[in-house]
Amino acid sequence: MSVTSAAADPTGGRPVIPTRGTLRPLGLGEARITGGAWSHRQRVNGGATLDHGRSWMDKMGWTGNFTAVEQGRGSEERRGREFADSEVYKLVEAMSWEVGRSADRIRDREIGELTAMLVAAQAPDGYLNTAFGRPGQRPRYSDLASGHELYCTGHLVQAAVARTRTSGPDDLLGVARRAADQVCETFGPEGMWGICGHPEIEPALVELARLTGEQRYLDQASLFVQRRGYRTLPLHPFGWSYFSDDIPVREAEVLRGHAVRSLYLTAGAVDVAVETGDRELLDAVISQFDRTLARRTYLTGGMGSRHMDEAFGDDFVLPSDRAYSETCASVAAVMVAWRLLLATGEPRYGDLIERILYNVLATAISDDGTSFFYAHTLHQRTPTEDLPPDREQLGFGGGPRAPWFEVSCCLGNIGRTLASLSTYLATANERGLQLHQYADAEVGTRLADGRRVAVRMATRYPDDGTVSVRVTETDGGPWTIALRVPRWAGGAVLVDGDQRRPAAPGTVEVTRDFSVGDEIRLQLPVRPRWTFPDPRIDAVRGCVAVERGPVVLCVESVDQPVPDLDLVRVDPSAEPREAGDGATVAGWFDQPAESGWPYDESAPQAGETTRAALRLVPYHRWARRGPSTMRVWLPLG
């Protein structure tokens, strides 16, 4: 890797730019969402959500922590948890993508102000963390297990990468480079043999290496990945797996422990493997992630089933009613899936991203963009009410959407993902364009041979299954438009002019000498369908779910004639029926006799029964109509 001076990304900015791989990502300037639900969500995010984040971070004193450091004020003034700095950085990252997306001048100025604050707070040697190292605080790097210092630095670096790629180098890149240099000096081959309890510095340093061409950042990330798994962090009550420090990365068989930590580490390991050409490491990580998909992932794409330690459970431990499925774990899973999609071109990673977008990210945020689910239950048994707009939720975890959390990591993660969402729509390779996600969008790039190609996607997907792709630029000669056919979409059809051909799940391609105005249409069979779980998932044995396209549906009590969803039963012999963007299914409510002890020698008899057409709505729409109960998995009668 040769040292080059960092510059704005000519594509408009991309979160991940591998130097090799199967697919090449497109930037904000090459892929733009022009309409539909995601466009609306991007606008809400760019306005209300980022404003909300900024005002709460000011109110909670998290931005003020930097000012206090600059002014040398007492460490006793520091506010928030040890990772509060990272929330400010993630907000800056989200703002940076937003400026790249919408050229928002006010937001641009805001980044400048926040950057000036960081510049002023940074120590002369590059160290920047408001929780450690000042008089009255613990010494720098004295608590690698829980201190989150390198984690915070990682988010600082990611913010600077986003800023530089979208707007060109400025002081923020300087701050990040000095901080990264300080990390490399402290933890390099000759330095302290340490890793951070919470991975994040690993993908950040690789991306900084990609941005700047500095080999030392890649080397340092590689060292951090190599060092993990040898139980060098102090034993945590939740075990070394909590830090993914139980097994070396290339020896593990599946993701485990704290889901966000594990997934951030995995993202970094993919980056290191790709940049160093380490096929063994890449294969190890692919195998772990694929096993995680097959055994430790919710129908929604959510990961991490345990509240206590925010961890993956054992294989097939996927309880609906105590699902944790943290928002941030889904953001992290998108990070991993995107990197693996770029590295391998395998459409299953696009499937996962789609599933997460429609069923976790779309669920996580309120319509007005100012309250958030931290965790995503698939079965709400007692009605919850949203917290009032001025109320912080203590700790983390379950409960309703809240305007703020003591551990408020979801806002920044949602914000940066939504602002950069269009970059996940499509990729290019030497043959043409690959469309991975479907939305009203403009996608275009210059192919390796210099030809400009572009298409306009038009669709009401996922409400409707037809995706129109019209060629808007082409430069002569054949090229390829490839479209992802989701795993669920058996019976899909590709229409190219007069031609109709089946499009099996995976990838369907059209290669020809396109003319501007040419249209191809992918017809995906979006209709409600039953979904059955693997029989090893004990928590949903004897249940079915209903999905419609990529959207998981649910029953919510506010739509049902009997409010107690414990009593719902369905018979999957009849197909679910279309009902707007949801469905209806024939079902009933079965009220068992009460006997005082819930275990009996005879199989339970049907009790008092109320037949009903059960209305299902998209899971992402639940908890938007007042207090309710909800369930995704419906017991068979």
Question: Which of 70, 77, 278, 406 lies at the binding interface for its own copies (CB under 8 A)?
Answer: 406
Question: Which of 188, 194, 345, 397 lies at the binding interface for its own copies (CB under 8 A)?
Answer: 397
Question: Which of 116, 123, 317, 612 lies at the binding interface for its own copies (CB under 8 A)?
Answer: 317
User: Rounded distance, CA 49 to CA 365, Å?
Assistant: 9
3-state secondary structure of 427: strand
User: Rounded distance, CA 212 to CA 354, Å?
Assistant: 31
Q: Is 395 in the site for its own copies (CB under 8 A)?
A: yes
Q: Say if CB 356 and CB 338 are below 8 A apart.
A: no
Q: Least CB distance from residue 292 to its own copies, whole Å?
A: 11
Q: Least CB distance from residue 283 to its own copies, whole Å?
A: 16
Question: Which of 168, 389, 502, 535 lies at the binding interface for its own copies (CB under 8 A)?
Answer: 535
User: Rounded distance, CA 140 to CA 94, Å?
Assistant: 28
Question: Which of 134, 177, 295, 548 lies at the binding interface for its own copies (CB under 8 A)?
Answer: 295
Q: What are phi and psi of 36, to 5 degrees?
A: 90, -175
Q: For residue 621, how far is the Cα from the chain centroid?
A: 18
The answer for residues whose C-beta is within 8 angstroms of residue 434's C-beta and 6 or more apart is 23, 345, 426, 427, 428, 482, 483, 484, 507
x-or-dash string of contact with its own copies, 555-584, rule CB under 8 A: -----------xx----x------------
Q: Which is nearer to its own copies, 251 or 594 (CB)?
A: 594
x-or-dash string of contact with its own copies, 221-260, rule CB under 8 A: --------------xxxx----------------------
493-496 and 551-556 strand pairing? unpaired
Give the pair of three-digit tokens for residue 374. Answer: 């931290």
Q: Is 504 in the site for its own copies (CB under 8 A)?
A: no
Q: Is 487 in the site for its own copies (CB under 8 A)?
A: yes
Q: For residue 95, give the nearest of 158, 180, 16 by alpha carbon.
A: 158
Burial of 291 (0-12, 13-18, 19+ CB in 10 A): middle
Question: Which of 51, 143, 290, 496 lies at the binding interface for its own copies (CB under 8 A)?
Answer: 290
Q: Is 319 in the site for its own copies (CB under 8 A)?
A: yes
Q: Is 600 in the site for its own copies (CB under 8 A)?
A: yes
User: Rounded distance, CA 14 to CA 344, Å?
Assistant: 18
| Window contacting its own copies (CB under 8 A); options: 17-25, 139-147, 166-174, 295-303 | 295-303
The answer for residues whose C-beta is within 8 angstroms of residue 5's C-beta and 6 or more apart is 169, 212
User: Rounded distance, CA 275 to CA 270, Å?
Assistant: 8
Question: Which of 308, 516, 574, 613 lies at the binding interface for its own copies (CB under 8 A)?
Answer: 308
Residues that bind its own copies (rule: CB under 8 A) add up to a total of 67
Q: Which is nearer to its own copies, 439 or 567 (CB)?
A: 567
3-state secondary structure of 190: coil
Give the pair of three-digit tokens for residue 394. Answer: 């203590």
Cβ neighbour number for residue 613 with a 10 Å cutoff: 12
| Window contacting its own copies (CB under 8 A); options: 35-43, 109-117, 155-163, 598-606 | 598-606
Q: Is 595 in the site for its own copies (CB under 8 A)?
A: yes
Q: Least CB distance from residue 99 to its own copies, whole Å?
A: 36
Question: Which of 20, 541, 611, 625 lies at the binding interface for its own copies (CB under 8 A)?
Answer: 541
Give the pair of three-digit tokens for residue 510. Answer: 């059209």
Chain residues in the site for its own copies (CB under 8 A): 235-238, 290, 293-295, 297, 299, 306-308, 313-317, 319-322, 348, 379, 381-382, 394-395, 397, 406, 487-488, 490, 529-543, 545, 566-567, 572, 590, 592, 594-604, 633, 635
